[in-house]
């Protein structure tokens, strides 16, 4: 599959490297970036046989491009995804699918009109071995019906974070992965603001406690703490009627030294789901080659956007905010 | 110290056995029970040299009694504690101190009027080695200022539980121990009712999620799940600005067998804090003998009752309920 | 039970404190020490109503003394134990029972001649909750027949250790507790000397690997490493036909801080079995009062001495040394 | 790189699948098998564009073949590896390199004569993320100089195992990986035969304890227990002067259910190092394409064979057997 990549920043370069050196079945044949010099540099650095396009839309329409990867700035995602749909080409779009729920809705409508599954959004946790093992436990009924979920999203620090980014940049991953894990939709949300850590900048509330309710009545309690200092720590505990299941923690060397038995905790979020990125993109290449799409869909991106909007309103108002998710079209049901 | 025990049911017998066989410095010289035959039987079974009183108040006033242990039905606690204060004798009262906040207030006022520290309430977790280790970590500043607490109170099953007992019988332990742990007071509470487990009886909501806010802005998220099937499981995680500290779990043999690496989880709540009961009563005997009182005070019992009342109102209304705790009298400050 | 304590050094004082303040059923009524001033000081410090004897043998024979605790220097143990047997009084003797196997044999013969169970040796691990839980797993057949044991005895440092003390002072605990755990006797031993740590003094080999074979063919591999720097760490893993069981590790606060998830490891051996000492001595007081003896017997002390001697020979020769344990007299069988 | 695969049994098929579907930079263009029908079937099943050769040597010499993978029966490894060297083509050979140390020596000599690094042996553990993390800890000096290693190799069952296969088929992995881990060579070995499990067949001793000594004096204690029933369990603990480091265990969902807190243990050895096989073969493809060789060399295979022979002699004699490894040629030093 010949792939065109729009956006050659850090994530774009990572994906190009993956496709070229680690994964099978795909080839980067075209790139574009607002900074054309950077695009050219990447082609040269990674020794690609790829054409550099000045414009993402031209790349999308190019004959040699079978499928598109969008890793440009979030503001441009919507137009490139719509353009890919218009060209009838599979598109893998990094989060967010669009910067507004309205934008996501337009993408959903375009894909519905087109009638082919073309869009995948880059929520990689669904491809993480740990989350998959946890989902299998739930699906196999090992702990009975789930009643509650406790989860934790902690970063050591979040340089550059402003305003609501702990929700819009960090918590969105939980929003996506928990819907998939529980096969359920959200109906309400409440946001609680604990005592603020002195390690967060003045204009960023940190930590948050976010309470989500699902259609089945499952209650999710999520801590989002992005200046937690000690490490990047993602935890997820599902409480079922008959037992409890925990997301596996990364394995590590157990050390006994200096009066402590310890295991290292990751400090960099990139390392936590590093394998999931590979699996995700490999799965997309394979599926897209066959005209299929298994990963997070445009619909998932749309629901995620609606939910995040509700979180922000709940944070602003301090109240319990209803989440109104439209009926899922037949096309998107699995 | 010569001790009179009022109430010779299961807990009363346990305490008598402790005082007689395991602890030092105390002697059971008098017992009473509404069922005098049972009282006599206990004296005989445990080979006590103890007088049996028909009436708890007479026992309290008896010359040979230096100090009183109240383990009778909860409804009678208030009168026996007041009577002990009137007699100027130290009294150890199992929870609840009184069945209403109003009753607790009366005890507080009587003790204040008397001017001597005479009352200790039976919240044993403060004497648990694990909670003490956790408190030391907090007190030493190891994790910086606490911002949040995640805790879990799970029973395998709760035979005989009705109505609000998950709060009034189970969660009260968290109410007491977390105030002590954090050295902070509660200002509001909210109760969330997740999807109910099919293993609870029709008239008992289970599980609950209880959200407490403290004066310092610390947010406590507590899961109370008393028909959790799998075990008796008490967890407490304090999230600080610089790190996380977890209540130790009971140590056990790690087994590798049948494709599993496992450790047993306790099924009986009595085993979880079994050592704490010993430490608690030993400490009371020692302190009371010296005219001191270190354990949970009448004031602690009063605050606990106010908080539990607010929890019940929050459960009933679904809203956020303020907790109004009066100014702590100088007498009770430590 | 009125107890006389011979030897008022650190361990003696600990035992006196235990008997006086923590345990029930015993009272220290007599003490003696080579340093009479120290004995008097202890009586005064601990506010005992106890007579100070210039001579241990006089203390043993004194009318007011019902039972004897021997915590004097190891060299004097044999004579005081023999004297106690001669007086027909129960005696709790700290390890070693005697400094030679020959000395132990004399004690065994004296006790056999006397015909009453009077002697207990202070191997406290049998009273540790963890070892007891492990033994229960074995006794219940949970892991099937034991085939191998891996154990580890590590100290952070061993000030004052000379020559063979890693075996005669440290490993003797494993010698005793593993016989009890496996209900088996040793038939051979081999000692391997790995590369020496630079943290041990010149004249002390450290670490050792000690291989014991039992009558049933169970193979024990023990690492003894007394200058291990990082902590006091006692581990014991029994490998059975159907599974593996591990001695529980001490519970502790799990911390997440500074990129590490950690639990403290004890640095002081005294803390590791602190509860076991209480249980041990309480059990002895209770048993001795009833004319019974449940703990490690004179026979156990004798077998331990024979085994330790074989270890030393194995270390010296580098070969496999047979351990010849005489037939256990009926009197000592359980 | 165009690859020819000799041997299309289970492992051969796995490698073909890897090269074709998961890895990058390689293509299977030729296969051969003693059973030509099976070879043809594999080509058809896996939709390869590959020529089927009746004879492995013809495959090796074929123009379209750049590099060779040998996964045929162990007895044939030597001739195919020699043939590959003669053809000057890189060859990846599954263990054993040859069935005798003598055979391995012939390969070493042929490669030395040829003067190019062409041979890699399929010891995949060196490519396991866990062993690499452990090696990094050692290389960084985190635990100081290593003094001892405790390791465990347990299979739930070993169908078809006969005679010495626990050593020649299972323990050889430890032989290879520990040399690499410690960067040290073996000087002696002793084999201890514990009480036999009733779950092993009559003609297979199980378990073994194998004691290896290295040139630096490090002592390795390895338990090999291939009918251990409960799971496939590979453990490795390195004891250093300043601390202890343990091979990470596979991560898994932590379950709390039925009075147990548990994690699954793998039952199938294939799952334990599944990622390592991918990394190993990818690394070989990449290195071989560049005319390099990073993995276990012919020399490593030779040393492994000498060591395994010494283990067998030690098992037979019960004594301590010296391991004589010739001076490593400059060519093989890293």
Please indicate if any CB of chain A lies within 8 Å of the CB of C230.
yes
- Averaged pLDDT, B96-117: 97
Q: Which two tokens stand for residue A60?
A: 């999308």
Which chain D positions have a beta carbon within 8 Å of B231's beta carbon?
Answer: 256, 259
Asked, as a colleague might, if the bond just before B207 is cis with ω within 30 of 0, I would say yes
Which residue from A207, A216, A219 is facing B148, i.e. has the nearest CB? A207
Chain A hits for B241, CB-CB cut-off 8 Å, are: 197-199, 229
Which of C230, C231, C259 lies closest to A264 in CB terms?
C259
Q: Does residue D334 have a pLDDT over 90?
A: no
**Would you say residue D43 has pLDDT above 90?**
yes
Instruction: Please state which of the four CATH numbers 3.30.70.1450, 3.40.50.10860, 3.30.360.10, 3.30.1490.20 is assigned to the domain occupying A128-267+301-332.
Output: 3.30.360.10
pLDDT surpassing 90 at residue D42: yes
CA–CA distance, A298 with A281 (Å, rounded to integer): 16
Spatial separation of the C-alpha atoms in residues C190 and B256, rounded to whole Å: 28
Query: What distance in Å separates the CA atoms of residue D202 and residue C261, rounded to the nearest whole number?
Result: 46
Q: Do C265 and A267 touch (CB under 8 A)?
A: no
- CA B276 → CA B18, B156, B328, C131, C132, distances in Å? 12, 21, 27, 21, 20
Mean pLDDT of D135-153: 98
We find that the CATH architecture of domain C2-124+277-295 is 3-Layer(aba) Sandwich (3.40)
pLDDT tens, residue by residue, B193-234: 999 999 999 999 999 999 999 999 999 999 999 999 999 999
Secondary structure (3-state) at B190: strand
* Cα–Cα distance for residue pair D127/D139, rounded to 1 Å: 16
Instruction: Give the Cα-Cα-Cα angle B286, B291, B297 (nearest 5 degrees).
Output: 85
Q: What is the spatial distance between Cα B252 and Cα C241, in angstroms, rounded to a whole number?
A: 21
In this predicted model, what pLDDT tens digit does every residue of A252-304 receive, in sequence order?
999 999 999 999 999 999 899 999 999 999 999 999 999 999 999 999 999 99
Q: Which residue of C has its CA nearest to D144?
A: C197
Angle, to 10 degrees, between the axis of helix C74-87 and the axis of helix C101-114? 10
d(CA B93, CA B284): 11
Q: B38-83, pLDDT tens digit by residue?
A: 999 999 999 999 999 999 999 999 999 999 999 999 999 999 999 9
From chain D, pick out residues whose CB is under 8 angstroms from the CB of C242: 229-230
Q: Say how far apart CA A72 and CA A93 lie, in whole Å.
A: 9
A207 prior amide bond cis, ω within 30? yes
Interface check A25 vs B, CB under 8 A: no
CB-facing half-sphere around the CA of A179: CA atoms within 13 A = 22
Looking at the predicted structure, is the pLDDT value of residue B334 above 90?
no
Q: Sheet holding D51-53: strands in order across?
A: D51-53, D27-32, D2-6, D67-70, D91-93, D119-121
Categorize the per-residue pLDDT at A334 as very low, low, confident or very high, splitting at 50, 70 and 90.
Answer: confident
Chains that touch A (3 or more CB pairs under 8 A): B, C, D
Judge whether B263 and B111 are in contact, CB under 8 Å: no
Residues of D in contact with A142 (CB under 8 A): 255, 257
Cβ–Cβ under 8 Å, residues A107 and A82: yes
Best of D153, D199, D205, D219 to disrupt the C interface by mutation (most C CBs within 10 Å)?
D219
Going by pLDDT thresholds of 50, 70 and 90, the confidence category of residue C334 is: confident
Q: Could you tell me if A260 lies within 8 Å of chain C, comparing CB atoms?
A: yes
**pLDDT tens-digit series, residues B168-189:** 999 999 999 999 999 999 999 9
Please tell me the distance in Å from B68's CA to the nearest CA on chain A: 42
Retrieve residue A158's tokens: 């979040």
- How far, in Å, are A271, A297, A301, C232, C274 from residue C128 at the CA level? 42, 58, 57, 16, 9
What is d(CA D189, CA D224) in angstroms, rounded to the nearest whole number?
14
Q: Convert the pLDDT of each residue in C282-315 to its tens digit.
A: 999 999 999 999 999 999 999 999 999 999 999 9
- Label each residue of chain C as H, E or C: CEEEEECCCHHHHHHHHHHHHHCCCCEEEEEECCCHHHHHHHHHHCCCCCEEECCHHHHHHCCCCCEEEECCCHHHHHHHHHHHHHHCCCEEECCCCCCCHHHHHHHHHHHHHHCCCCEEECCHHHHCHHHHHHHHHHHCCCCCCEEEEEEEEECCCCCCCCCCHHHHHHHHHHHHHHHHHHCCCEEEEEEECCCCCCCCCCCCCCCEEEEEEECCCCEEEEEEECCCCCCCEEEEEEEECCEEEECCCCCCCEEEECCEEEEECCCCHHHHCHHHHHHHHHHHHHHHHCCCCCCCCHHHHHHHHHHHHHHHHHHHHCCCEECCCCCCCHHHCC
Measure Cα distances from B102 to B98, B174, B305, B309, C179 in Å: 8, 21, 9, 11, 61
Q: In the prediction, which pLDDT does B288 show?
A: 96
* Closest residue, chain D, to A132 (C-alpha): D253
CA D227 to chain CA mean position, Å: 20
CB atoms C248 and B258 under 8 Å: no
Chain C residues close to B24, C-beta within 8 Å: 20-24
- Average pLDDT score over residue span A213-237: 98
Class of domain D130-267+301-332: alpha beta
Q: Rounded CA gap, B244 and A157, in Å? A: 15
Residue B280: the pLDDT is 97
Tell me if chain B has a CB within 8 Å of the CB of D261: yes
**C223 neighbourhood in chain A, CB within 8 Å:** none
Kindly state the tokens that stand for B23. Answer: 């602890």
Q: Which of C258, C267, C268, C271 to mutate to test the interface with A (most CBs of A within 10 A)?
A: C258
CB-based contact C238:D223 (threshold 8 Å): no
Tokens 């039952």, residue?
Answer: D267
Chains that touch C (3 or more CB pairs under 8 A): A, B, D
- Report the C-alpha gap between A222 and A219 in whole angstroms: 10
Q: What is the pLDDT of residue B159?
A: 94
- List all residues 6 or more positions away from A165 whose beta carbon is below 8 Å from its beta carbon: A158, A204, A226
The C-alpha of C173 sits at a distance from chain D's nearest C-alpha, in angstroms, of: 21
Neighbours of A106 (CB within 10 A): 17
Partners of residue A248 in chain D, C-beta under 8 Å: 251-254
pLDDT tens readout for residues D232-273: 999 999 999 999 999 999 999 999 999 999 999 999 998 999
Determine how many CB atoms are found less than 10 A away from the CB of residue D198.
11
CB spacing of D250 vs A251 below 8 angstroms: yes
- Tens-digit pLDDT profile for residues B226-270: 999 999 999 999 999 999 999 999 999 999 999 999 999 999 998
* Chain D contact for C141 (CB, 8 A cutoff): no
Q: What is the pLDDT of residue C8?
A: 96
For the CA atoms of B80, B82, B88, B89, the dihedral, rounded to the nearest 10 degrees, stands at 30
Angle at B218 between CA B216 and CA B220, to 5 degrees: 145
What the block records as the tokens of A236 is: 């997820």
Specify whether domain C126-268+301-332 bears CATH 3.40.50.150.
no
Chain B contact probe: residue of C253, C274, C286 with most B CBs at under 10 A: C253
Verify whether the Cβ–Cβ distance C241 to D194 is below 8 Å.
no
B313 interface with D at CB cutoff 8 Å = no
> CATH code for A2-125+277-297?
3.40.50.720
**Interchain pair A231, C259: CB under 8 A:** yes
Counted residue by residue, chain A has a size of 334
ipTM of the complex: 0.94
Listed in sequence order, the residues at least 6 apart from A151 whose beta carbon sits closer than 8 Å to its beta carbon are A174, A178, A220, A221, A222, A223, A234, A235, A236, A237
How much is the pTM?
0.95
Q: Is D26 exposed, middle or buried (0-12, 13-18, 19+ CB in 10 A)?
A: buried
The domain ranges of chain A are 2-125+277-297, 128-267+301-332
Closest chain A C-alpha to C248 CA, distance in angstroms: 14
Residue of A86, A47, A61, A63 lying closest to A6 (CA atoms): A61
D189 in contact with chain C, both atoms CB, cutoff 8 A: no
Please check whether residue B106 is in contact with residue B98, taking contact to mean a CB–CB distance below 8 angstroms: yes
| Mean per-residue pLDDT of chain A | 96
| Chosen from C182, C193, C233, C244 to mutate, greatest number of chain D CBs within 10 A | C244
CATH code at B2-125+277-295: 3.40.50.720
């Amino acid at each position: 599959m010949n792939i065109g990549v729009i956006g050659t920043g850090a994530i774009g370069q990572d994906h190009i490297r993956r496709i070229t050196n680690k994964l099978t079945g795909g080839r980067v044949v075209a790139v574009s970036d607002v900074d054309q010099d950077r695009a050219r540099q990447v082609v040269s650095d990674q020794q690609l046989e790829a054409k550099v396009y000045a414009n993402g839309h031209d790349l999308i329409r190019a004959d040699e491009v079978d499928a598109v990867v969008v890793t440009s700035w979030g503001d441009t995602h919507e137009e490139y995804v719509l353009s890919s749909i218009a060209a009838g080409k599979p598109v893998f779009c990094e989060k967010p699918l669009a910067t507004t729920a309205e934008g996501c809705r337009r993408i959903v409508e375009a894909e519905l009109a087109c009638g082919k599954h073309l869009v995948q959004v880059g929520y990689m946790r669904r491809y993480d071995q740990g989350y998959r093992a946890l989902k299998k436990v739930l699906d196999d009924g090992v702990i009975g019906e789930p009643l509650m979920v406790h989860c934790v999203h902690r970063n050591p620090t979040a340089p550059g974070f402003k305003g609501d980014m702990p929700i819009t940049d960090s918590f969105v991953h939980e929003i996506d992965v928990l819907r998939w894990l529980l096969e359920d939709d959200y109906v309400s949300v409440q946001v609680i603001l604990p005592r603020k850590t002195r390690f967060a900048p003045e204009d960023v509330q940190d930590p948050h406690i976010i309470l989500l309710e699902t259609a089945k009545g499952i209650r999710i309690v999520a801590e989002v703490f992005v200046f937690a200092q000690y490490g990047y720590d993602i935890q997820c505990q599902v409480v079922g009627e008959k037992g409890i299941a925990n997301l596996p923690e990364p394995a590590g060397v157990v050390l006994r030294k200096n009066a402590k038995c310890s295991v290292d905790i990751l400090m960099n979020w990139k390392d936590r789901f590093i394998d999931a990125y590979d699996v995700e993109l490999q799965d997309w290449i394979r599926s897209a080659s066959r005209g299929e799409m298994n990963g997070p869909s445009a619909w998932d991106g749309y629901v995620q956007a609606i939910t995040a909007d509700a979180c922000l309103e709940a944070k602003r108002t301090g109240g319990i905010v209803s989440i109104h998710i439209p009926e899922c079209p037949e096309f998107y049901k699995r």
